[in-house]
Copies of this chain bind each other. A is one copy, B any other.
Amino acid sequence: MSIAAKYYPQEPKVPVVKTSSIPGPESVKELAQLGEVFDARPAYFVADYEKSLGNYIVDADGNTYLDVYAQIASIALGYNNPKLIEAAQSPEMIRALVDRPALGNFPSKDLNSILRKILKFAPKGQDKIWSGLSGADANELAFKAAFMYYRAKQRGVGAEFSAEENSTVMKNEEPGSPHLAVLSFKKAFHGRLFASGSVTCSKPIHKLDFPAFNWPHAEYPSYTFPLAENEAANRAEDDRCLKIVEDLITSWSIPVAALIIEPIQSEGGDNHGSKYFLQSLRDLTLKLGVVYIIDEVQTGVGATGKAWCHEWADIQPPVDLVTFSKKFQSAGYFFHDPLFVPNKPYRQFNTWCGEPARMIIAGAIAEEITENNLLDQCARVGDYLYAKLEKLQSQYPDKFQRLRGQNRGTFIAWDLSSSAERDALLKDLKLKGCNVGGCAELSVRLRPTLSFEEKHADILVEALSQAVADL
């Protein structure tokens, strides 16, 4: 039985859009009320999650969309998944919700088994975890781990903090508050707080008016597609970017303690990093003594047909820290080297040290993916969908430029000729019953759940072919 049929026997067969504009009148009314107290301007519509099911999201006007965006790539299994409902109703969950522990000081009896379930799904080579609350939080916690590790290596294992460090840190001055940098990439997105915001380099609107650390952005490779036909050019592009990375690390005015990279830049336009590029960064970071952080916030948890996207690159030795959030619902970082546990307690610490309710959901998601072979399904459906999109591409090459994501599950994207054209396509797709997201200036990104099947792909492709013809 198909997984969608198993989970969602009542899933709608087709999208239905009843209103002539989106948001419809009921969404508009509710958004006006919400807007009195909350910034609701970015809302596409008000959702009725009670009525949403599987791959379909229903709005306040009763419009039913095939959801290929899935809450900005953060719904793993589909709406109202029965196994997650089970987890949500478990006594363990009730306790996590009503007796939220300070997990560092008073961990629950449940915590060990909850974490082990998550760790079963950890990237290859990683077997320890620290937990946070969001992608931005996960990345900043990883930076903290990286800075402590970097300074510990400088100071010598076991060395105490100096009196000067202890006094200067209270004035935000070095050496206690050292000038250290994290290198990231142009078009990167790693979150919107202040350190995560400093490594983010997506759009001005994400960053304007916020103080930032003086941290460098290297260039992320920009490949020519299809990849198989452009190997030499793309290898040259990798080498060009690797040189920039090395030059920045060795010449930046502040020591570079860590490097953070998305295996596919998602918000920044679905820019893929090759196996060669990601492995070469491992070699380079080892050579230069830089901590290697992979940000799997958007790429992780199955959507590329592997549990974690960077597993496609089989990086050896494994990277130092892998951050996660979004589709895992819980957030944090995985690691393996015990030296990333700080030399003293209370250095990587806060009141809650994570969210047990979301950890329980993460464990249930991991279990379902494994038990139902959802990675294989995602790879299979992705291939099916990609082939169909290639056909559309041959028919409308202008509307499907730089099609990417071959052999990467349903993590597929392509470009249009202008932002206006892309936005018009996304708008029309909604009216045709498909909720699809964009990224960067020109790209359409597909981010369905792991319950997305061939029959859903057919509906999407049909809507797309009509919408593209209408453009």
Contact = CB atoms under 8 A, between A and B. Distances in A.
A57 interface: yes
A254 B205 CA distance: 23
8 contacts: A34-B112, A74-B352, A85-B98, A88-B93, A133-B137, A193-B194, A194-B213, A195-B195
Interface centre among A42, A75, A127 (most CB of B within 10 A): A42
Nearest to A79: B99
A18 interface: no
Contacts of A129: 37-38
Contact of A98 (B30, B88, B94, B107): B88
A2 interface: no
Contact of A176 (B108, B165, B207): B207
Contact of A34 (B107, B214, B357): B107
A116 interface: yes
Interface string A69-105: 0011011000111001101110101110111111011
A194 B194 contact: yes
B204 A39 contact: no
B101 A47 contact: yes
A282 to B, nearest CB: 24
Interface stretch (A166-174, A224-232, A301-309, A454-462): A166-174
Contact of A109 (B30, B36, B71): B30
A350 B342 CA distance: 29
Give the most central of A60, A79, A101, A361: most B CB within 10 Å: A101
A343 to B, nearest CB: 10
Interface string A173-207: 10011111100001000011111001001001111
Question: Lowest 9 A-B CB distances belong to which pairs?
Answer: A41-B345, A194-B195, A177-B212, A172-B212, A84-B98, A88-B97, A133-B133, A49-B99, A151-B209
B102 A180 contact: no
Contact of A99 (B75, B104, B355): B75
Interface in A342-364: 342, 344-352, 355, 357, 361
Contacts of A442: none
A38 B116 CA distance: 10
Interface stretch (A141-149, A377-385, A386-394, A404-412): A141-149
Contact of A135 (B41, B150, B346, B351): B351
Most chain B CB neighbours (cut-off 10 Å) among A110, A205, A351? A351
A234 interface: no
Contacts of A140: 193-194
Interface in A313-361: 325-326, 329, 341-342, 344-352, 355, 357, 361
B107 A147 contact: no
Contacts of A88: 93-94, 97-98
Interface in A110-134: 110-112, 115-116, 119, 127-131, 133-134
Given A49-B108, A192-B350, A204-B170, A128 B94 contact: no
A158 interface: no
A89 B205 CA distance: 39
A276 interface: no
